[in-house]
């Protein structure tokens, strides 16, 4: 059994998460956009970011949405990052649309009162700086718990059910990824990749989510 990782382009990869998973001996399998997908044999799913829109009419994204709908129906733990969070929101029937403001670079994320009791975010300060790179956002899915927001983006994190999480920011980011993204034609070259050490808070998010994902569930009566 392994964690299924949905990757949409090579430069938007697991980042610091890969080393954490490998150190802990957790197996994971990456599938690129358009490759065959199935839930069988996987304990949970991490959905990474990318330059695509959740609204793009691409066969690969349609397949991902179908898989996410199936995962949500069966309570399979999910962690969606940026585009991944938007795909989870869309799979839950929420609207994904152009954000009023692009959010690129280091920005503060503020946590809601509900986050204080959340198993993934309860230990975070009320305001924590994370890395962002997005121009779309989403409505909070019906039945989801709103966990975080920023000045430019109201829905920065949510939880649906026990173990499906969407985060709009990039907890997996590394300085090398920032340099890579900034050098691309659509990038912004004036971002300091070392302004914040993003690895420690990212590790907390991943490890807390893994704890939730691996916790036994009570059988339905």
Known catalytic residues?
A: 82, 170, 172
Residues present in the chain in total: 221
In contact, 42 and 4? CB cutoff 8 Å: yes
Angle CA 15–16–21, to nearest 5: 105
Q: How far is residue 126's CA from residue 104's CA, in Å, rounded to a whole number?
A: 21
Q: How far is residue 95's CA from residue 155's CA, in Å, rounded to a whole number?
A: 12
Tokens of 160: 């649906």
Give the alpha-carbon dihedral of 71, 61, 168, 143, to 10 degrees: -40
Picking from 71, 47, 77, the residue whose alpha carbon sits closest to that of residue 60 is 47
């Amino acid at each position: 059994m392994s964690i299924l990782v949905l990757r949409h382009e090579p430069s938007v990869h697991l980042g610091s998460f890969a080393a954490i998973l490998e150190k802990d001996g957790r197996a994971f399998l990456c599938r690129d956009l358009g490759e065959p997908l199935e839930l069988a044999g996987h304990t949970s799913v991490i959905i990474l970011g990318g330059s695509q829109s959740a609204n793009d009419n691409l066969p690969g994204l349609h397949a991902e949405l179908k898989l996410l709908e199936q995962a949500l129906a069966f309570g399979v733990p999910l962690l969606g990052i940026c585009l991944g969070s938007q795909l989870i929101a869309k799979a839950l029937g929420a609207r994904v649309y152009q954000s009023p403001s692009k959010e690129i670079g280091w920005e503060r994320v503020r946590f809601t009162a509900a986050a204080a009791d959340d198993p993934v975010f309860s230990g975070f300060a009320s305001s924590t700086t994370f890395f962002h790179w997005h121009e779309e956002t989403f409505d909070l899915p019906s039945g989801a718990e709103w966990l975080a927001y920023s000045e430019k983006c109201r829905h920065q994190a949510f939880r649906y059910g026990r173990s499906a999480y969407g985060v709009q920011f990039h907890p997996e980011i590394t300085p090398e990824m920032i340099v890579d993204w900034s050098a691309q034609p659509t990038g912004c070259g004036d971002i300091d990749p070392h302004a914040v050490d993003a690895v420690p808070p990212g590790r907390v998010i991943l490890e807390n989510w893994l704890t939730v994902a691996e916790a036994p569930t009570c059988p339905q009566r």
